[in-house]
Structure 1
Amino acid sequence: MTRVEGLWPHNVSPNRLAVLECKLAIWLRSQGLKSEIKVDNLSVLTQQAAAAGCDFSQLQKEIQTVIEAETDNFLELANFAGLNPLEDFAGARLLGANLTGLDLSGAELKGAYLRGSDLSDADLSNADLREVNLSGADLSGALLSDANLTQADLHRASLALANLSGANLTEANLTEANLSNCNLSDANLSNAILKNANLTQAGLALTNLTDADFTGANVKQARMWHDAGLSEQVKQDLIKLGAIFEE
């Protein structure tokens, strides 16, 4: 779904679209229609609301405010729509959104669809990112310390120079992700998939690596220290591939 017929133009920016879809989904729920932000049936539900005689006048004013705003800053657009960016976007669709450098620390974003979005240098510390789709997203330089990324999809995401210290990446999909120079100290990577990932010069001190899949990963000069869950055989294999174990 790219828009809801009649409520906004087809060529709005990804940031405006994310805010408008979220606003509409929350409004539909306030009208007694069970709408999850992540579903693709907002158009059908909107038609049902119209057929039920719901009053769209206030919603249309708020939508127009977002459309006409002289900014594309996500936080400012959310404010114009009367949304809380730290609470209202769990499960939201933010495909290709530009969130670079934003303070989203502690944000509730479980199940959000952020594929291809730009979160470079963003502050996502302590954020709830469980089951989020961040495939192909740019998280380079982002602060993700203590974030919960359990079962997150980070396929081909860029996390170069990102700070993931203390983050929970249990069962996360990091296939082909760029984790070069990334700080993963004290992170939980148990059962994470790191196939063909780039871990060059990454820091993995005190990291939980229980059953992590390093198949094809580049671990050259990755720095490891007192990591949990590594068998002696896996440790020796990683050393042969260029990882550095500091005692």
Structure 2
Amino acid sequence: MTGVEGLWPHNLSPNRLAVLERKLVLWLQEQPLPADIHEMALHYNSHEDLQLLTQKAAAQGCHFADLQTTVQGVISAKTDNFLDLAEIAGLNPLEDFADAKLLGANLRGLTLSGAKLTNAYLRGADLSDIDLTCSDLRNANLGGADLSGALLSDADLTGADLHRVSLALANLSGSNLTNVNLEEANLSNCNLSDANLSGACLKNADLYQAGLALTNLVNVDFTGANVKEARLWHDSGISDEVKADLIHRGAIFDEKIENIKRD
């Protein structure tokens, strides 16, 4: 075994590849290997890094026979469902995918409420209609991902990269979006009530008919954003100047609402 090519083929689906790479990383953490290999396993950036990692592990006398059995189980599975593949690999989808590489993965419609996905790499992933309520997505990279219709209420997305993400019809009520990059994101008809958007970048984002009641908007950058028919009520952090500008651009500040019900 000279590298990753000795463990699995190259033409795997994004779901199988994500599960196998995560299994390899966590499996290596359990092996009696030098600290530098453990560190490299946690912070690899590419397929080439993984190849070098497995070569180093093999040179240290690491035997991959037991892992290979699990790998073959994932490769030969008759399903591409992420949860099923994770179970075959002996992984907990709510606990084991923080820092994981999930490029282009298909998690559409899954229930992952409370999942720990800090620093996860989810660029281009299909997360439409997913349930990620109360999940930890701090510093996750979700650039270009499809989160339309997703449930993200009370989730922590502090510092996450959501550049060009689709959050149309998504529910982010009560979520923490501090310092999030939402540049060019689609937030049309999105529920952002009671969310914390302080320091967020919303440059050229689409907030058409979005709901922002009771939202923290301290230092939010609305440059070029479409705020037509976006509804705001008792939002904190908006100066009179910013409020006037948003109204001029089509936002609605509804001071008559007496009761706000979160979905």
TM bracket, shorter-chain basis:
over 0.9
Matched, 1:153 2:161: yes
Relative to the length of structure 2, the TM-score reads 0.91
Match of 1:6 in 2: 6
Q: Residue 49 of structure 1: CA displacement? A: 1.4
CA distance in 2, matches of 1:224, 1:48: 56
CA distance in 2, matches of 1:64, 1:49: 20
Q: Residue 51 of structure 1: CA displacement? A: 1.2
Match of 1:26 in 2: 26
- Code of the residue aligned with 2:177 in structure 1: it is L
Matched, 1:182 2:193: no
CA distance in 2, matches of 1:45, 1:197: 40
Match of 2:102 in 1: 94
- Code of the residue aligned with 1:36 in structure 2: it is L
Residue 66 of structure 1: which of 59, 74, 83 is its match?
A: 74
Match of 1:36 in 2: 42
Matched, 1:139 2:181: no
CA distance in 2, matches of 1:135, 1:52: 37
**Unaligned stretches of 5+ in structure 1?**
none
**Unaligned stretches of 5+ in structure 2?**
256-263
Would you say the 8 A contact 1:169–1:190 is kept in 2? Answer: yes
- Code of the residue aligned with 1:19 in structure 2: it is V
CA distance in 2, matches of 1:223, 1:124: 24
Partner of 1:5, secondary structure, is helix
Q: Residue 37 of structure 1: CA displacement? A: 5.8
* Corresponding pairs, count: 245
CA distance in 1, matches of 2:177, 2:13: 31
Would you say the 8 A contact 1:38–1:92 is kept in 2? Answer: no
Matched, 1:224 2:232: yes
Per-residue displacement from partner, 1:61-108 (whole Å, max 9, x unpaired)? 000000000000001100000000111100100000000000111000
Would you say the 8 A contact 1:38–1:91 is kept in 2? Answer: no
Partner of 1:22, secondary structure, is helix
CA distance in 1, matches of 2:159, 2:202: 13
Match of 1:50 in 2: 58
How well do the aligned residues superpose, as a CA RMSD in angstroms?
1.0
Q: Residue 39 of structure 1: CA displacement? A: 3.5
Per-residue displacement from partner, 1:167-221 (whole Å, max 9, x unpaired)? 0000000000000000000000000000000000000000000000000000000
Relative to the length of structure 1, the TM-score reads 0.97
Partner of 1:89, secondary structure, is coil
CA distance in 1, matches of 2:197, 2:244: 19
Partner of 2:74, secondary structure, is helix
Q: Which 10-residue stretch deviates more, 94-103 or 48-57?
A: 48-57
Partner of 1:204, secondary structure, is strand
- Code of the residue aligned with 2:114 in structure 1: it is G
Would you say the 8 A contact 2:119–2:138 is kept in 1? Answer: yes
CA distance in 2, matches of 1:161, 1:95: 23
CA distance in 1, matches of 2:171, 2:242: 25
Residue 213 of structure 2: which of 201, 205, 211 is its match?
A: 205
- Code of the residue aligned with 2:101 in structure 1: it is R
Partner of 2:4, secondary structure, is coil
